[in-house]
């Protein structure tokens, strides 16, 4: 195949397989450029904390619940979510991560997800951030929380073209203001956040 000049049969097979794979990847990439599918839309519709204690040994005890709406706006694309890792952040510190169950999403369908982050983690809050944390604690609403989605998906265009597994750009839901719910005290309501889902149908390595 193409530049296959190897004298060894295995080298030749390897070479052929590689060029076939590269051609397949290129044709997927070209197809995405031609049909230009809309990005899948992610929204955080609800988020609440029932615990968010930062203790003197720099340990954060947290219990964060996040509702997410995922909408595939495309008429001819099916999305197969194969690996979904949700990552929670507080002021740019990695708080915790959780895996969600894989699912398939038909064209023009919406899926409702819930991610529950629970546990403890040592996080290095800077003095300024510690001051903000204390102020937010007194108000009962925490600023600058974020949730990322690290995905591995396959996609299918109409009936005939199914991609291999790839990683879309990391979906980023930033600047969430999350109320702490304590002793049934009614917290202010959460403001819905639209997440940034980049060029969703292109592998994040292909930029
Ligand atoms: C966290 O704070 C809440 C309310 O102040 C308290 O009830 C709870 O025991 C604390 N948890 C830890 C692990 O410090
Ligand atoms: C930090 O302190 C808490 C009690 O306040 C304890 O449960 C936890 O294990 C400590 N974490 C570390 C890393 O020492
Ligand atoms: C959040 O998700 C849970 C579980 O799917 C659901 O029971 C709850 O009603 C949702 N809350 C909102 C405000 O959508
Ligand atoms: C999903 O991805 C995460 C992070 O990359 C990894 O730790 C985990 O093993 C993966 N799970 C599966 C089922 O592939
Ligand atoms: C997608 O949505 C359509 C109509 O909104 C529904 O009939 C269909 O069952 C859904 N498919 C899946 C896989 O949820």
Average pLDDT over residues 97-126: 97
199 is a domain residue: no
Q: Are 149 and 170 in contact (CB under 8 A)?
A: yes
Stretch among 28-42, 107-121, 176-190 having the lowest mean pLDDT: 176-190
Count of structural domains within the chain: 2
Question: Does 150 lie in the same domain as 173?
Answer: yes
Give ligand 1 pocket residues (Cβ under 6 A): 51, 53, 55, 61
Atom of ligand 1 nearest to the CA of 55: 14
What is the domain extent for residue 21? 1-36
CA–centroid distance, 114 to ligand 3, in Å, is: 7
Band (44; pLDDT cuts 50, 70, 90)? very high
Mean pLDDT of 32-52: 94
Q: Provide residues with CB under 6 Å of ligand 2.
A: 55, 57, 59, 122
CA-proximal residue: ligand 1, atom 13 (nearest): 61
For residue 94, what are the CA distances in angstroms to 24, 87, 168, 186? 36, 7, 20, 28
Is the pLDDT at 144 greater than 70? The verdict is yes
What are 205's two structure tokens? 């390595």
Q: 């530049």: which residue's tokens? A: 3
Looking at the structure, tell me whether residues 48 and 144 fall in a common domain.
yes
* CATH code for the domain of 116: 2.60.40
More confident residue, 203 or 101: 101
The residue whose CA is least distant from atom 5 of ligand 2 is 55
Whether 95 and 68 map to the same domain: the answer is yes
Shared-domain flag, residues 129 and 32: no
> Are 64 and 140 in the same domain?
yes
Flag whether 205 is in a domain.
no
- pTM (2 decimals)? 0.85
Query: Does residue 174 share a domain with residue 125?
Result: yes
* Residue 105 backbone phi and psi in degrees, to 5: -130, 115
Considering the domain architecture, whether residues 11 and 74 belong to the same structural domain is answered as no
């Amino acid at each position: 195949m193409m530049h296959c000049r190897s004298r060894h049969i295995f080298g030749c097979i390897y070479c052929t397989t590689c060029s076939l794979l590269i051609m397949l990847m290129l044709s997927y990439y070209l197809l995405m450029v031609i049909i230009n599918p809309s990005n899948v839309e992610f929204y955080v519709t609800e988020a609440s904390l029932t615990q968010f204690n930062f203790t003197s040994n720099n340990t954060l005890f947290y219990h964060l619940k996040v509702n997410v709406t995922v909408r595939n706006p495309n008429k001819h694309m099916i999305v197969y979510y194969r690996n979904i890792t949700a990552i929670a952040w507080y002021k740019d510190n990695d708080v915790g991560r959780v895996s969600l169950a894989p699912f398939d999403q038909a064209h023009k369908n919406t899926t409702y997800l819930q991610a529950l982050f629970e546990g403890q983690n040592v996080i290095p809050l800077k003095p300024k951030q510690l001051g903000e944390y204390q102020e937010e604690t007194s108000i009962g609403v925490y600023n600058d929380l974020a949730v990322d989605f690290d995905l591995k998906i396959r996609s299918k265009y109409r009936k005939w073209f199914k991609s291999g597994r790839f990683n879309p750009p990391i979906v980023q839901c930033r600047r969430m203001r999350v109320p702490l719910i304590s002793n049934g005290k009614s917290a202010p309501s959460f403001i819905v956040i639209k997440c940034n889902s980049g060029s969703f149908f292109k592998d994040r390595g292909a930029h």
